[in-house]
Amino acid sequence: MNRFVFGLVVLGLAQAQDVRQIVAESQKRSQSKSEQYEGTIEVFGSSNKVSLKHWEFERIGSFGVSKSILRFTAPAEVKGVALLIVNHPDRSSDQWMWTPALERDRHIALQDRSTRFFGTDFSFEDLEERDVNQFDYKLLGEELVDGQQCWKIESKPKEAKSSQYTSAVLFIRKDIYVGIQIESYAKDKLVRRIRYSDIQKLDDIWTARTIEVYDANRKSRTVLKLEKLKYNVPMKDENFTLEALRRG
């Protein structure tokens, strides 16, 4: 290998490492021991029909090894439906959904993670955490999003990470290292766009209080607003088990 080619290889490795450090820093700045909020979810269909849902969300643990439960509180037809997510550092999460009407839980198979979660535009996969170590990264450049200068970064899942998406483009604000948009693709086709807005500092963590998901295939969107959000609230690990999921 001549010096010029060797230099290009070294430069490429250095850039890849720098990009990974940007994503890692963004993840680090959003760390908390726990999180809880009440979510208001508006689903806007292609015919502009709007449906309203509410859920409660709790999470314990750090990225890669966290556990979370979200549980619908309204309307009546979905009240009590809940999802337990156990995230892993080296592979896709485990997920179980509890349906009170059937009085049973079921494990969400990997091949079903691309389906919509209970009438929203989130897929089951979108509800798990994106740990930095499960992806490879490439810097695509810089771009303005909502008037904010962002790094534009391509991420591709590693082989151990099962995903419906072949790639995603992350937009991370350069001033505060907060991700404000994710575009997820299957090959070259846009599948979903998630935008994070109404960003506020809470307990020293820059936090998006509004999350909007656009489903490119259905031409529908879901807007999630986070209310009564708290970080580092005392929680017990035993509240994030299948038994706790069934108790409600």
Instruction: Band the pLDDT of 3: cuts 50, 70, 90.
Output: very low
pLDDT, one tens digit per residue, over 93-138 is 999 999 999 999 999 999 999 999 988 999 999 999 888 988 999 9
What's the pTM? Answer: 0.89
Q: What is the CATH number of domain 3-247?
A: 2.50.20.10
pLDDT, one tens digit per residue, over 26-67 is 999 999 999 999 999 999 987 777 899 999 999 999 877 899
Residues 94, 100: contact at Cβ < 8 Å? no
